[in-house]
Amino acid sequence: MRRKLVAGNWKMHGLKAQLGDVVEIAAAAAAAPRVDVNLCLPFTLIEAAVAVAGAMPIGAQDVHEADKGAHTGCISGAMLRDCGASLTIVGHSERRADQHETSHDAWAKATAARRHGLQVILCCGETEAERDAGRAERIVQSQIEKSLPEGASGDWLTLAYEPRWAIGTGKTPTLDDIAAIHAIARAKLRHMVGDAADGIRILYGGSVTGANAETILATENVDGALVGGASLTVEKFGPIIAAAAEIARRG
């Protein structure tokens, strides 16, 4: 079966002074051998974090679709590999909102990441207005359809469902709503890539904490969590890793 994955997204947080938190989180990850744990950090911390993170993979939060060129301020997959990153997030809703990225951009970025041997966490998720209008399922299906890269399989690709209205708000969907979207996402993957869909992990993200992790992670088709605010310290992230480890232990 699919191993649980607990991924941290530090967003635009973290200076070198926080490398000690990376060390502590890596130790918590090492103490949970049945669970995969990684941290997606600001570009400026990746190389230093790789040096202290031991076996815990360190990733980025974005990558450019081109391999190199005249793209001021952007980072290529080759650059990420060069500083030791092993994965990247693409299509995060904050980039869709702030940088006007589309599902097609996410597709191109995921494709570029793969060219450079990076693992990918591909994000999808509806806005509050879309949910209120009863369109959440259709939005997620459409985002997956437009952004899923060729050759998608679980050895390099993970999907993350992050309802935008649940990010950083303390609000989460009901477990039934999470299960419903994850089932729809799983069916969409199956429709697009057949049996390979069975190996692709689908994470839930949006206000995951130590208090709600165990019930969310035990929900059908939830293969892990993508965690923002609660991934910054081991005090907050450790209990989420522990919850995943407990579920893995129970089998």
d(CA 56, CA 58): 6
The total of other beta-carbon atoms located within 10 Å of residue 13's CB is 14
| Catalytic status, residue 104 | no
Using the minimum distance from each CB to ligand 13P, give the nearer residue, 64 or 236: 236
> Pattern 168-187, binding to ligand 13P, x per CB under 6 A?
x-------------------
Task: Tell the smallest beta-carbon distance from residue 72 to ligand 13P (Å).
Answer: 26
| Catalytic status, residue 220 | no
Given the residues 92, 94, 130, 137, the one annotated as active site: 92
d(CA 231, CA 220): 23
Token readout for 205 is: 């993200």
Q: What is the CA radius of gyration of the chain?
A: 17
- Number of residues forming the site for ligand 13P (CB under 6 A): 14
Q: Find the binding residues for ligand 13P in span 63-92 (CB under 6 A).
A: 92
Q: Which residue is nearest to ligand 13P (CB)?
A: 228
Task: Tell the smallest beta-carbon distance from residue 225 to ligand 13P (Å).
Answer: 8
Q: Find the binding residues for ligand 13P in span 144-163 (CB under 6 A).
A: 162
Task: Tell the smallest beta-carbon distance from residue 161 to ligand 13P (Å).
Answer: 11
- Indicate whether 9 belongs to the interface with ligand 13P (CB under 6 A): yes
- Indicate whether 221 belongs to the interface with ligand 13P (CB under 6 A): no
Question: Which residue in 57, 149, 163, 206 binds ligand 13P (CB under 6 A)?
Answer: 206
Using the minimum distance from each CB to ligand 13P, give the nearer residue, 118 or 193: 118
Using the minimum distance from each CB to ligand 13P, give the nearer residue, 63 or 226: 226
d(CA 251, CA 244): 11
Binding site for ligand 13P (CB under 6 A): 9, 92, 162, 167-168, 205-208, 226-230
Catalytically active residues are 92, 162
